[in-house]
């Protein structure tokens, strides 16, 4: 079985996997990074969002063979102690209900705010529309992204 | 009126204390014995083993309090709000409370369910009694130490205060308290003295959620565990004829392929290998019963509505006479599709079946019932089955049914290995237990401008209407009133879906009253309020709702939403409903963008009695309203040849953030016992939006999803 060297959350990891294995399952099953969630497997719900060289990417569609030498960041990697401004905003607003989609939401929000530090409401709604929250905690997600933007100024 | 769950209970029957070996005290209570409104002491306390208790408070020597919450957490927030109630009466600082999911072992549980928005309502009295009893024991211990009367002591934030100002921490007396008699007749706090209840408390799992810690069933793993993915019949009515696994076996990581019943499980060392191999299985299927489709259901339900095969759920007065004497009869039909639950976390469960025990771990709303069913399936003693509950990535009713846990148990037994069954999204949406497709025909008779008769007929696939629903509004308000139901037995599995029984009924009835007001040319709010006047002072014990409380939420919603005073480009729709013991009124504000209705805002007024945790409560309300709108607008699920026509989010549409209105919540302040919030704001949302769309576009919607019947071409996602 092929061996891949991955750069995840700033450290190198060597994994053995079939070349078509989605990064999502390498993270979850092999590396015990279970914060990245499985939701749909077809890139429609955003629960599996990670950062690939800083861009929000759906890890369920990303083959492990394609991400060598790229910087992979998961929810576990954005801070050690929930101190990232987006996490702080999520905390302040008390966003989650069931909580399952929230890591993906936070990863989408983080990548988005890195590109647009002063977003309008409609920018936020567009940027976050790729992430489904089945509990519909959308009002709070919207408020938390706006709050995080102000914290990141 | 049955708004308040008052419990008559004996503390002796459900509370017991024990000194802990390492210091401190454990106070056990049997929440589910105590929570039943009709609870009677089960047995003599002396015969109770400490294991008969399913929830615990641990008070350590240092005064730190750990509360083990026994209730399944599906996102409704009870893991935070139920311990708050205990902490309030115990009189400790919420900052000194640590909450853990209770250690679970089904052999000791009598009832343990998340469903029907009942956890807080049933738990209220018992949780308060428990906290207050523990507090009194600590006071008694301090008073004995001081040699004074316990009645002269006060408590504050975990400290007992002597009249002379001397103080003892709970931790200082907790070991003495453990040896005392359990006090009777403890005094509960007055609501005005609440310090924790009514104040915002943050989700107790918040830090773990936002840092991606393992919490959910899908995150659970054990050494040696196999990942199992299951091939199930592709259609309702089909069964397995034979299968060829020669190609699937070649996938690296695949360990076993096991047939059980009409299903085939692929067991692999990792999830992806199992998923990949499952797709390589070549199976032949045969039909053992009809392969049904939604077009046929449509015709069958219409025939049922027009037929005579009804079961009458409630009949007041004489409907026939009222309709015969009417000046006018108004009749409308409302239609809904099936709905899948689509929890974000697909169904999954861990099972380890060995010769001496059966261990189950995973997301489940009904652990006790599931343990029993697994025991029956495996022909084991239920005492050998344990269930540990993980946090759940949504429930919405789907996790009331333990079918996925049964699969895991059966596979583990056959494989003689621990396994975790994982559904793909396609599996989850195809092997569903759906909200049934339902049709309502509502008829009203009008004589001299008065509504003299109301006849509700329901036709559903399998079943829908539940015993108490016919006693909801407008029961009691119209002299001649009848509710009839008919059902068609299908092989498509159906069941409870968030706010079961009323999630579509509320749309039908609140749309009907809106249209009735238009036809009768009366104010749509006044029509509802006038009906409520007739229920006031009723002696009919069956009536579930309070006309006064419903009237209040309606009046406050009119006020807070600026009803009738909206800007020219804003169209408002009204809806008010009682279900799950909570009274709700909603006003939807709709604008037209490119001639398409867009819901901008929903004003939601809720009377749920005392609001235990406003921060969590508002989250439930916002979510319920938006979920209700999302499914009313977009939820479209159908079958062809027994096969679901959608199996993932590329063709099945869920509401997204850019389609979401702002929800503005207002609570009615009172000191009545609290009721649940997981469901009651969902049912009225669809009608509020439909009534607003009528105002905006002149189109009266009778069918869900609205997007389909407005002939709108709206982009996905």
Residue B277 belongs to domain with CATH number: 3.30.365.10
Residues above pLDDT 70, as percent of chain B:
90
User: Is the residue at B429 inside a domain?
Assistant: no
Q: Check B656 against A132: CB less than 8 A apart.
A: yes
- The span from the CA of B270 to the CA of A49, in Å, is 20
More confident call, B107 vs B532: B532
ipTM over 0.95: yes
Beta strands in B400-515 (DSSP E): 419-422, 438-447, 450-461, 480-488
Give me the mean pLDDT over the B580-600 stretch.
96
B345 touches chain A (CB under 8 A): yes
- Reference B442, options B459, B427, B426, B462; nearest CA is B459
CA distance A9 to chain B (A): 13
Q: What is the pLDDT of residue B42?
A: 32
Give me the mean pLDDT over the B180-188 stretch.
86
Q: Which of B188, B211, B234 finishes a domain?
A: B211
User: Is the residue at B645 inside a domain?
Assistant: yes
* Same domain? B238 vs B380: yes
Q: What is the pLDDT of residue B402?
A: 95
Considering only residues 30 to 59 of chain A, which have any Cβ-Cβ distance to chain B shorter than 8 Å? 30, 32-42, 44-45, 47
* Same domain? B659 vs B692: yes
Domains in chain B, number: 3
A93 touches chain B (CB under 8 A): no
* Same domain? B686 vs B607: yes
DSSP codes of every residue in B297-344: HHHHHHHHHHSS--EEEEEES-HHHHHHT-SEEEEEEEE--BB----S
B369 touches chain A (CB under 8 A): no
Q: Which of B211, B234, B268 finishes a domain?
A: B211
List CB contacts (< 8 A) between B81 and chain A. none
Q: Check A44 against B650: CB less than 8 A apart.
A: yes
Which of B342, B391, B620 is nearest residue A134 as measured by Cβ atoms? B342
pLDDT confidence bin for B30, thresholds 50/70/90? low
Q: What is the pLDDT of residue B290?
A: 94
pLDDT at B76 over 90: no
* Same domain? B228 vs B123: no
Which of B272, B625, B630 is nearest residue A25 as measured by Cβ atoms? B272
User: Is the residue at B199 inside a domain?
Assistant: yes
* Same domain? B616 vs B532: yes
Tens of pLDDT, residue by residue over B670-686, are: 999 999 899 999 999 99
Q: What count of other Cβ atoms lies within 10 Å of the Cβ of residue B39?
A: 20
Query: Among A112-121, B93-102, B582-591, where is mean pLDDT lowest?
Result: B93-102
Q: Which of B393, B422, B451 finishes a domain?
A: B422
Q: What is the pLDDT of residue B144?
A: 96
CA distance B589 to chain A (A): 16
* Same domain? B105 vs B237: no
* Same domain? B187 vs B261: no
User: Is the residue at B293 inside a domain?
Assistant: no
* Same domain? B360 vs B413: yes
User: Is the residue at B304 inside a domain?
Assistant: no
* Same domain? B278 vs B204: no
Integer CA distances (angstroms), B448 to B477, B524, B532, B533, in order: 17, 18, 19, 18
pLDDT confidence bin for B208, thresholds 50/70/90? very high
User: Is the residue at B40 inside a domain?
Assistant: yes
* pTM (two decimals): 0.93
Give me the mean pLDDT over the A138-148 stretch.
98
User: Is the residue at B668 inside a domain?
Assistant: yes
pLDDT confidence bin for B55, thresholds 50/70/90? low
Considering only residues 581 to 640 of chain B, which have any Cβ-Cβ distance to chain A shorter than 8 Å? 615-616, 619-620, 622-627, 630
* Same domain? B577 vs B699: yes
List CB contacts (< 8 A) between A136 and chain B. 622-627, 630, 655, 660
Burial of B533 from C-beta contacts in 10 A (0-12 / 13-18 / 19+): exposed
* Same domain? B369 vs B409: yes
Q: Is B72 helix (H, G, I), strand (E, B) or coil?
A: coil
* Same domain? B264 vs B317: no
Domain of residue B114 covers 4-211
User: Is the residue at B299 inside a domain?
Assistant: no
């Amino acid at each position: 079985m092929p061996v891949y060297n991955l750069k995840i959350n700033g450290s190198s990891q060597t994994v053995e996997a079939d070349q078509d294995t989605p990064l999502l399952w390498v993270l979850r099953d092999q590396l015990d990074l279970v914060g990245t969630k499985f939701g749909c497997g077809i890139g429609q719900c955003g629960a599996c969002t990670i950062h690939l060289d800083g861009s929000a990417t759906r890890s369920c569609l990303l083959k492990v063979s394609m991400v060598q030498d790229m910087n992979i960041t998961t929810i576990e990697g954005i801070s050690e102690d929930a101190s990232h401004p987006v996490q702080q905003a999520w905390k302040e607003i008390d966003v989650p209900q069931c909580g399952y989609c929230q890591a993906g939401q936070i990863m989408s929000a983080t990548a988005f705010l890195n590109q647009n530090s002063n977003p309008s409401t409609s920018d936020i709604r567009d940027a976050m529309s790729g992430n489904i929250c089945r509990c519909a905690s959308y009002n709070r997600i919207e408020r938390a992204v706006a709050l995080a933007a102000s914290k990141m100024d | 009126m049955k708004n308040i769950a008052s419990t008559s209970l004996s503390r002796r029957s459900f509370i017991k204390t024990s000194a802990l070996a390492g210091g401190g005290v454990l106070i056990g209570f049997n929440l589910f014995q105590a929570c039943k409104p009709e609870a009677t002491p089960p047995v003599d306390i002396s015969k109770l083993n400490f294991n008969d208790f399913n929830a615990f408070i641990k008070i350590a020597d240092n005064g730190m309090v750990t509360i083990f919450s026994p209730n399944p957490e599906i996102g409704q927030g009870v893991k935070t709000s139920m311990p708050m109630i205990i902490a309030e009466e115990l009189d400790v600082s919420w900052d000194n409370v640590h909450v853990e999911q209770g250690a679970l072992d089904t052999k000791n549980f009598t009832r343990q369910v998340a469903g029907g928005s009942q956890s807080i309502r049933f738990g209220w009295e018992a949780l308060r009694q428990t906290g207050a009893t523990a507090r009194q024991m600590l006071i008694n211990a301090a008073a004995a130490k001081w040699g004074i009367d316990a009645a002269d002591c006060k408590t504050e934030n975990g400290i007992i205060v002597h009249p002379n100002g001397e103080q003892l921490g709970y931790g200082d007396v907790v070991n003495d308290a453990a040896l005392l008699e359990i006090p009777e007749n403890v005094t509960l706090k007055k609501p005005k003295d609440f310090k924790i209840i009514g104040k915002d408390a943050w989700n107790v799992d918040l830090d773990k959620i936002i840092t991606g810690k393992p919490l959910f069933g899908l995150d659970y793993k054990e050494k040696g565990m196999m990942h199992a993915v299951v091939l199930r019949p592709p259609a309702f009515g089909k069964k397995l004829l034979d299968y060829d696994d020669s190609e699937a076996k070649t996938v690296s990581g695949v360990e076993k392929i096991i047939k059980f019943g009409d299903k085939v499980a692929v067991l692999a060392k990792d999830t992806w290998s199992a998923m990949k191999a499952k797709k390589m299985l070549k199976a032949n299927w045969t039909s053992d019963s009809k392969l049904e489709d939604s077009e046929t259901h449509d015709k069958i339900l219409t025939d049922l509505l027009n037929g005579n095969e009804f079961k009458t759920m409630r009949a007041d007065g004489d409907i026939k006479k009222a309709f015969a004497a009417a000046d006018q009869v108004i009749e409308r039909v409302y239609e809904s599709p099936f709905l899948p639950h689509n929890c974000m976390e697909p169904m999954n469960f861990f099972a380890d079946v060995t010769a001496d025990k059966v261990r189950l771990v995973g997301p489940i709303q009904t652990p006790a019932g599931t343990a029993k069913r697994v025991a029956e399936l495996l022909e084991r003693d239920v005492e050998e089955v344990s269930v540990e509950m993980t946090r759940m990535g949504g429930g919405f009713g789907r996790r009331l049914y333990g079918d996925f846990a049964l699969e895991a148990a059966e596979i583990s037994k056959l494989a003689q290995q621990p396994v975790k069954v994982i559904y793909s999204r396609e599996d989850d949406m195809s092997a569903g237990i759906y909200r049934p497709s339902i049709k309502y025909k509502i008829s009203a008779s009008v004589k001299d401008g008065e509504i003299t008769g109301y006849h509700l007929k329901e036709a559903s696939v399998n079943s829908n209407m539940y015993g108490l629903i016919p006693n909801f509004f407008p029961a009691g308000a119209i002299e001649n009133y009848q509710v009839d139901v008919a059902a068609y037995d299908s092989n498509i599995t159906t069941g409870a879906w968030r706010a079961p029984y009323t999630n579509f009924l509320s749309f039908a009835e609140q749309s009907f009253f809106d249209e009735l007001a238009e036809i009768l040319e009366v104010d749509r709010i006044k029509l509802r309020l006038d009906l409520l006047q007739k229920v006031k002072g009723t002696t009919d014990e069956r009536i579930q709702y309070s006309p006064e409380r419903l009237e209040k939420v309606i009046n406050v919603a009119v006020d807070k939403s600026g009803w009738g005073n909206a800007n020219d480009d804003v169209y408002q729709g009204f809806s008010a409903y009682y279900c799950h013991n909570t009274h709700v009124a909603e006003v939807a504000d709709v604008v037209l963008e490119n001639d398409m209705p867009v819901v901008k805002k929903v004003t939601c007024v809720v009377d749920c009695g005392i609001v235990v945790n406003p921060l969590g409560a508002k989250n439930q309300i916002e979510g319920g309203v938006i979920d209700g709108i999302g499914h009313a607008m977009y939820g479209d699920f159908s079958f062809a040849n027994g096969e679901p026509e959608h199996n993932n989010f590329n063709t099945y549409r869920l509401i997204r953030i850019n389609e979401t209105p702002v929800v503005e919540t207002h609570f009615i302040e009172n000191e009545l016992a609290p009721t649940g919030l997981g469901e009651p704001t969902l049912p009225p949302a669809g009608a509020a939006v439909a009534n607003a769309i009528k105002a905006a576009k002149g189109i009266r919607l009778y069918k869900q999803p609205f997007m389909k019947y407005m002939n709108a071409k709206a982009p996905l996602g």
